[in-house]
Structure 1
Amino acid sequence: MQTSESRYITLDAMRGFAVMGILAMNIIGFAMPEWAYITPAAYGGETFADRMAWLFSFVFIDGKMRGLFSLLFGASLILITERASSNGESAAHVHYRRMAWLAVFGLVHYFFIWYGDILFLYAMAGMVAFQFRDWAPARLVKWALIIFGLGLVFWGLQFGGLQILQYMATQPDASADLVRQYNDVKASPGFNFDIPAQVDLHRGPYAQTVADKLTDWPALFGLTVMSIAETLPLMMVGMAMNKSGFILGLWSPADYRRWAWRLVPAGLIATGLLALWMIVSQYDAITALAIFFFWGAIPRLMLTIGYAAVLILLTARFGGSPLMSRVAAAGRAAFTNYLGTSIIMTTLFYGYGFGLFGEISRLGLWAYVLMMWGVMLSWSQPWLQHYRYGPLEWLWRSLARGQMQPMRR
């Protein structure tokens, strides 16, 4: 479904849903210590209501919105490079300038605003994904699954090995050497929640939070390496979805319903079983990490693609409604909404702003999510009625093009 302005409302609306949905998980990172995102046992899981809030987010949201962003990034890569070629420009020149500036935005975001950045990761993965732009859809999907599978093997060996060690070391007849190894793992910095220090850091002055990230700069590159085996394949699937017409809304409603029924119920059941495993383990840290990186990867992939099919059906059904138009506008300004959310939320929760870090329950954080959704839906459409791009979209485009782009309509 394409508008008169050569934009696909399907892409815009899906991007709008994704930028809104990703806040529902990022809010934990904004408002609580980092480990709270992995397990409610670390922080914010004291009450039944908070655990239910965790359960809802874990089953329906966690990782799926980020996955949609990755699909859309790959789909947009094809659109932008094809447009550049049709205009007589070098697709490589246009793409790599965009990725270079996206990496700069990501570095600024990570070091000076919020540590939960995905822009640098997307820039790095996007540079690799460009090499596959001429591949046929079937080849893109095939190699995406191969790369995804290699990532699963890596995480399975690491966290599956930890789970085996945990099981063997907690048996009544466990050897002293196994118990020592297990205790060493639990006492390592990687499994230290360090909640008081995290709370003090984020309630402190701005210079303190920046200095901490500058000191721990390798963490950004470690996160990129850890995430690329999932992000790059999703971008490649998004490229295939563009070439096949899937993500552009060009398939029949019956096809989208078929894919939704194939993937969403099974993905939700599998994710629900993983949530039950977490609960039975009493939100154990090793179990939580294994689920996050390994066991949850395939259900997350299923739901990401299944959600895409559902959202395309919703867009086709309600594309002309006022609410869907506002969601699509939020998607057109997704870059501004994403970075703007980080600025607003860190101002609310960090010590240099209102200092609410660690003060709001998981359930209570939904009030802030709904508030920010209201902001996104309120400003994006009126702005885009007068301007061609969101503010940061315009800045990114101007920097990548090397000249000021026309802004007013």
Structure 2
Amino acid sequence: MDALSPTVSLTSESPGYVAVQPVAKADRIQTIDVIRGFALLGILMMNIPYFGLSHTATPRFFTAPVDSPDFRTFLTVSVVFEGTMRALFSMLFGAGMLLFMAKKDTQTDGYGMPDYYYRRLFWLILFGMFNAFVLLWPGDILYTYGVCGLFLFPFRNMKPRTYLLIAFFCVAVLGVKGFFKAMETQENREGYLKAIQLEKQKKPLTDELKKAKEGWLAVEKNAKYDKKKEDEINKTMQGDYGTIFKSYLPLNTKFESVKFYQNFIWDAWALMFLGMALFKWGFFSNQLPTRTYVLTLLAGYGIGLSLGWFAFWDGVAWYTNPGKVLDANSFPFQAFYQIRRAASALGHASLLLLIYRSGIVPWLMKALANVGQMAFTNYLMQSIICTLFFYGYGFGYFGKLSYYELYFVVAAVWLFQFIFSALWLRFFRFGPFEWLWRSLTYWKRQPMQG
């Protein structure tokens, strides 16, 4: 199993036993499918602004009138959901890797579990590159998961507490990186202020002060809305496939190389190891007492949403006047990004598990489980649908919808994926991309029915 589609399952009748082949529908851990389905649909909420709008539009969302539909939608999505869906996906990927690695190392045609494990990840990396460089989606996560998963194998037999310590270490690495970046920005601000003072006195600037001034002016430029730049990007995205490919090639290459090794790998590892710990504790398989899920819900939302609220208004202040924010030396709530997203994600998962346990809306739980069972197909389907809807070689709606209007598109895609997943699973065992992935992993055509 992984964050996209499980291939094995533990059964309550025989603890510790793991099936060698892909599991039957009846043996799946349905709560994991429910959480995965929720995360899959939620990821589109976070991705849709980047499918349909230029990243240069971000400053105008933060500085929009507070009573406007755009601002209210942006506020809600940022505080409640930002980073949390990817966090859930990463946690479930870690849990899924444990399940796959728990398979008996039965040799088949000279290959054992480790061979299939690495072959599976190799194909996932290629699917990620297909998503980024063929479907032209810069926000791909499959490549990141595939590469990060390559390093999980040696950790398969560790205790949950060890996984937790590793997760904290990864967060600490990101924290140190963020601290030095913040210090660099602060130094540029101080250098800029000194440079301005010296220029008023008509005194020459040192090379160090010139560099600091340039650095700070770049920060201010990035925080300021640039309509001309947004219009240029919109025009490019209204072009044909070749034009968009050429535009995104350097960005996608940077995301899957420099950016990946600088930040994405630590981000993914932190949540994967946390997910591995939670899975071994029985969190995702709904094995803990109701009281534990209630407390996790309250603590997760209490911490995550509170930090998210303050971080959002920090963002408003930053995009309004970044110099004023630094000069005020206010508390840096953005520094707690990893903590707040993990806390809110655990709140989301706990709420889902409590609803599932209560049996209040079984139809919704079943619908989410269907989407989750076909998460790999549905994830790539979102890229296909949205690029065709927004990009110039499709319907060309890029840059034509306001922020809040994008979520009508989200609702339409959700409805389609609910219906498609339910209908497909009535006749087939796997989603089409799940079937392809398994067939490539085992280098053998997998049965679609049964």
Contact 2:189 2:216 in 1 (8 A): no
**Whole-angstrom distance in 2 between the partners of 1:233 and 1:334:** 22
Q: Does 1:243 align with 2:274?
A: no
CA separation of 1:219/1:320 partners in 2, compared to 1, >3 Å: closer, same or farther? Answer: closer
Provide Cα deviations, 1:377-405, integer angstroms capped at 9, x if missing partner. 11102211211111101111111111110
**1:262 maps to what in 2?**
299
Separation of aligned partners in 1, 2:417 and 2:104: 30
Query: Residue 76 of structure 1 corresponds to which residue in structure 2?
Result: 96
Root mean square deviation, CA, Å: 3.0
Q: 1:182 pairs with 213, 221, 228, which one?
A: 213
Q: Specify the alignment match of 1:201 in structure 2.
A: 236
By how many angstroms is 1:51 displaced?
1.3
Structure 2 residue 394 is the aligned partner of structure 1 residue 353:
yes
Which of 122, 131, 137 does residue 100 from structure 1 map onto?
A: 122
Q: Deviations over 1:2-47 (max 9, x none)?
A: 89722111100000000100101100010001244xx343799478
2:185 to 157, 162, 168: 162
SS at match of 1:363: coil
* Match among 24, 44, 48 for residue 23 of structure 1: 44
Q: Is the 8 A contact 2:62 2:315 kept in 1?
A: no
Residue in 2 that maps onto 1:214: 249
Aligned partners of 2:357, 2:107: CA distance in 1, in Å?
Answer: 30
Displacement of 1:256 after TM fit? 1.0
Q: Aligned partners of 1:195 and 1:156: how far apart in 2?
A: 30
* Equivalent in 95, 100, 124 of residue 147 of structure 2: 124
After superposition, the C-alpha distances for 1:249-285 in whole angstroms (9 at most, x for unaligned) are: 1111111111121221121111101111122334567
What is the DSSP-based 3-state SS (H/G/I as helix, E as strand, rest coil) of the residue aligned with 1:296?
A: helix
**2:55 pairs with 1:34:** yes
SS at match of 1:362: coil
Matched-pair contact (CA < 8 Å) for 1:81–1:94: no
- Deviations along 1:280-318, one digit per CA (max 9) or x if unpaired, are 334567989x98974422211221223222222222223
1:144 aligns with 2:167: yes
Aligned to 1:386: 427
Q: Secondary structure in 2 aligned to 1:142?
A: helix
Provide TM-score, normalisation by structure 1. 0.90
Q: Which residue of 2 aligns with 1:6?
A: 27
The answer for the alignment partner of 1:275 in structure 2 is 312
Query: Post-superposition shift, 1:198?
Result: 1.6
Q: What's the TM-score, normalizing by structure 2?
A: 0.82
C-alpha contact 1:14 1:308 (8 A) present in aligned 2: yes
Cα deviation, residue 87, structure 1? 8.4
Q: Distance in 2 between matches of 1:313 and 1:138?
A: 25
1:326 aligns with 2:354: no
Deviations 1:222-256 (A, max 9, x none): 23222111110110111111111111111111111
User: Counterpart of 2:3?
Assistant: none
Amino acid paired to 1:30: F
Q: 1:389 to 1:293 in 2, by over 3 A?
A: farther
Contact 1:33–1:43, Cα closer than 8 Å, also in 2: no
**Residues 351-399 of structure 1, C-alpha deviation per residue, up to 9 Å, x if partnerless?**
0011110010011111001001101111102211211111101111111
Q: Percent identity?
A: 30
Q: Distance in 2 between matches of 1:139 and 1:319?
A: 36
Cα contact 1:44–1:361 (8 A) shared by 2: no
CA offsets, 1:159-200, max 9 Å, x none?
343145336635897555557623444348994963233212
1:80–1:190 CA distance, 2 compared to 1 (3 A): farther
Question: Runs of 4 or more off by more than 4 Å in structure 1?
Answer: 1-4, 42-47, 86-89, 170-180, 283-288, 290-293
Kindly indicate which of the two structures has a greater share of residues assigned to helix: 1
**Aligned-partner SS, 1:248:** coil
The 3 A distance-change label for structure 1 pair 262 and 208 is same
Give me the whole-angstrom Cα distance separating, in 2, the residues matched to 1:372 and 1:58.
20
- 2:69 aligned residue (49, 53, 78): 49
8 Å CA contact 1:101, 1:400 repeated in 2: yes
CA distance in 2: counterparts of 1:276 and 1:404, whole angstroms: 53
Question: Which range moved further: 314-323 or 244-253?
Answer: 314-323
Task: Give structure 1 stretches of 5+ with no counterpart.
Answer: none
Structure 1 residues 173 and 214: CA distance shift in structure 2, 3 A: closer
1:372 maps to which residue? 413
Is the radius of gyration larger for structure 1 or structure 2?
2
Structure 2 counterpart of 1:95, one-letter code? Y
**Structure 2: 5+ residue runs without aligned partners?**
1-10, 13-23, 200-204
Shift of 1:219: 3.5
What residue identity is the alignment partner of 1:249? N
Contact 1:144 1:236 in 2 (8 A): yes
